[in-house]
Amino acid sequence: MLEGINTVGDLEWEVPIGYVPNMRVPGRFFLSRALAETLEEGAVRQLANVATLPGIVKYSLAMPDIHWGYGFPIGGVAAFDRTEGVISPGGVGFDINCGVRLITTPLTEADLAGKKRELIERLFSAVPTGVGGKSAMRVSNKDLSRVMVDGARWAVERGLGTAADLVRCEEEGAMPGADPGAVSAKARQRGVPQIGTLGAGNHFLEVQVAREIVDPEAARVFGISEGQVCFMVHCGSRGLGHQIATDYIRTLEGALGKYRIEIPDRQLACAPLDSPEGRAYFGGMVCAANYAWANRQVIMHEARKVFAELFEIDYEEMRLVYDVAHNVAKFEQHEVDGAAQEVCVHRKGATRAFGPGVPGIPREYAAVGQPVIIPGSMGTSSFLLHGTTAAMQKTFGSTCHGAGRVLSRSKAKKEVHGKELRERLAEEGILVRAHSDLALAEEAPEVYKPSREVVRVVHEAGLSGIVARLEPLGVIKG
C-alpha cells in the first residue's frame, strides 16, 4: 500500500486530509490487499484532488475497481452540498450513463446446443457495433429531442419493449431535468444515427448462463435461477454523450475564474450547481443519460427478437431484471451527520446500490434492495448483486461497476494477440464476435482486475450482496 494511507478496516482505507494541499474532507476507498498490488499512485492522487472541490460532503470515495481516469478516478463517488457544491464533468465521464442491463430468458444452456454460433452471428448482425456503427433507425432532430427527454419510454412507446421494462430501469429509464437546448448542434449530429448501436471499447452484448445462486431469496425476487440463460447489454450514450462532455469541459474550464474556484487539476473543471454553467451542464448531461437508456432499450429489443425467432419463445418471456447507470450525477436524499440532506452524487464508473426499502427502486424489489449488475471482462464471470443498508451509510448508496483496468488499451494491444485470444476463449466454450482482433486485444480478460476479487470486496465490505454468478457463453464486442 502507498505511503501516507491509513487502514480503517480490512477492506477500507483512508487518504487523510493533507495528502494533497487544500483537501476539505478525507478520501476513502475499498480494496483488498491482493488488489492493492494494482493500485496506481495517480488514482489515489486523483481521489485526494476530488476532496479539494467546494461543497464536497463527508468523503471523496472510490470503489475496488479504482483506476486512473479523467479528473476523477474511475470508480470514484463524491457527493456535493446542494447550495455550496459544484458539478464536474470529470466526475461523470465522457460516456455519460454508460450502464448495463440484465435480461433473463426461459432457456437453459442445453437449449443452445447446435445453435450457439448462429445465435451469436444473428445478434452481431442485428446490433450495429464499432466506433462508426450506425443504426438502421431513421431519427429526426425533433425525434432526438424527445429521446433526450423521454429516454427508454420513447422506445417503448414505439413498440420497442414493454411498460414493465421501464419500471425495472434506474429512474424508470429517464431522469428529470433534461434540457435539449443545452445540447450543441455537433452533439445532436453525432447522436442522430447512433440510437440502437453498441459502440466500441468495453461495450458488449453477452450471452450468459447463471452458474451459481448465492442468495436464493434475492434470486427468487429478481427472477433468476441456476442454469438459466441470460443476456447482458453494456453501452452508453455514444457520440452524443462524448460531445456533450467535451463541450462542457471547455465551458466549465472557462468559468473557473468567474467563480474563483481553484483546482489542482484542470480536468476537475467545475461550476457551482446553481450557476448558469452548472445548470446547463446538468441539463445536457441528463439528455445524454436519457439517450443512453433509450439506446440500451433498442438494443435489448433487437436481441429479444433474435432469441424469439431462433428459439421460438415469446418476447415477453425475456424479462428485464434491471438497468443501472455507471456514469452520472444525480440529486438524491442521503443522511449526512444524522440529518437528511439533498446532495448531488457523482458516480464515475460506479453503480447505485440502494438498499432495502429505499425510495427510488421498484416496489417488487423493495424487500431486498435494488439489483446491482457488475459485468466481468469477456471470459470472466459477471455478477448480480443487491444494494444494502451499509452502502447507504458508507458510500451514498454506491458500489463498484466492473473489474477495473490494469493495462491501458495501447499496452494491451502490444501484449495480447486478438486471434490467439479468440481461439483460447473458443476452447473454453466462449464464442466471440468482433470487427477486429485489435478490439479483442484491448478488452482481454487479463487487462482487468479479477472480477471475483473485486466483487468479493464489495460483498464483504457490505456495499452490495452477491445474488448470482453468471458465466459467458458468447460475446459481441464493438
> Which residue numbers are catalytic?
401
Give the three-class secondary structure for 232: strand
Cβ pair 235, 199 in contact under 8 A: yes
Query: How far is 346 from 89, CA to CA, in rounded Å?
Result: 9
Cβ pair 25, 59 in contact under 8 A: yes
Give the three-class secondary structure for 443: coil
Query: How far is 10 from 460, CA to CA, in rounded Å?
Result: 10
Look up cell 480478460; give the residue.
Answer: 445
DSSP 8-state code for residue 195:
T
Q: Which three cell numbers stand for residue 401?
A: 461497476
Cβ pair 219, 466 in contact under 8 A: no
Q: Which three cell numbers stand for residue 243?
A: 460531445
Q: Which three cell numbers stand for residue 249?
A: 469541459
Using CA atoms of 415, 76, 98, 421 in order, give the dihedral in degrees to the nearest 10.
20
Query: How far is 293 from 168, CA to CA, in rounded Å?
Result: 12
Q: In sequence order, what DSSP letters do the residues of 91-113 get, joined into one string?
A: GT-SSTT-EEEEEEEEEEGGGGT
DSSP percent split of the chain into helix, strand, coil, nearest 5 = 35, 25, 35
Strand order in the sheet with 74-81: 6-7, 12-15, 27-30, 56-67, 74-81, 339-348, 327-336
Cβ pair 271, 86 in contact under 8 A: yes
Query: How far is 216 from 206, CA to CA, in rounded Å?
Result: 24
Give the three-class secondary structure for 375: coil
For 448, phi and psi rounded to 5 degrees? -120, 160
DSSP 8-state code for residue 135:
-
